[in-house]
Amino acid sequence: MISTASLIAMAITAAVTILGPILAAIVFYRKQKYFAGSVFTGAAVFFLFQIVLRIPILQLVLPKMEWYRMLQNNLWGYAIFLGFTAGLFEEVGRYLAFTTVLKKHQDWKNAVAFGIGHGGIESILLVGFTYISNLMISIMINKGLYDSLFAQNSQQSEALAQAKALLIETPSYMYLIAGVERILTFIIHIALSVLIMEGIRKKKGLQYLGLAIFLHMVIDSPVVILSGMGANVLFIELLALIFAVISFVYVKKQMRKEMAERAYENEYQH
């Protein structure tokens, strides 16, 4: 049986990761009246550069290459590679979006909106839908319906048994941590979007693109390394919290800076 606490935790994480980004987009729009296409562009960029391009390359193409299989045996090298490719694909996607589709909307609020769409669709696709599935399977397990799948799928019975054991043995708080992690990652995505936008506005787009790729790698790679070393998940989330706090402070600073510049321009014009 899967505990009630675990079921509640799954439901909370599913709600946070699916409804959270949607509510964030709505609330931010009411406050800032950004270009609505910025959110959808952010979501489309993540879907194209991660789901359509990067992930299939990592799962289907590179495993056929000897150098990649060897790299997977090197924790540090593999972690850096994953962090770098994540940064490369996502930040290049941001840069291309801001210099083409969003060329007429290069400001702070649209960068934040882009980040909401980018981080939001990642949250929904990678965690939200997964937790809805976990919740449904858990309910089936508790009602005794899940075991009937073993007889119907004898070839997959071992995998089904492992999935069941994992859901039962995972502590309740771990299901909540996934939601917390998505919130922290969501903030970081917004900050990286603002960073790319700032670089473009300063006519230093490529320099800031390189910086964003590097920072993305610095944020992602330690998570893979620490997980591979068996580090406590709470310590890993503490590291993510630090990055998220820095990101939040940066975004607020950029907001105040842009608002001050606009106030000065309006005063000068009058």
pLDDT tens string 45-102: 999 999 999 999 999 999 999 999 999 999 999 999 999 999 999 999 999 999 999 9
The runs of H, that is alpha helices, within 143-171 are 148-152, 157-169
| Torsion (CA) 26, 28, 31, 35 in degrees, nearest 10 | -90
What's the alpha-carbon Rg for the chain, to the nearest Å? 21
Token pair in block for residue 103 = 């060329």
What distance in Å separates the CA atoms of residue 111 and residue 102, rounded to the nearest whole number?
9
pLDDT averaged over every residue in the chain: 93
Rounded to two decimals, what is the model's pTM?
0.92
pLDDT at 109: 94
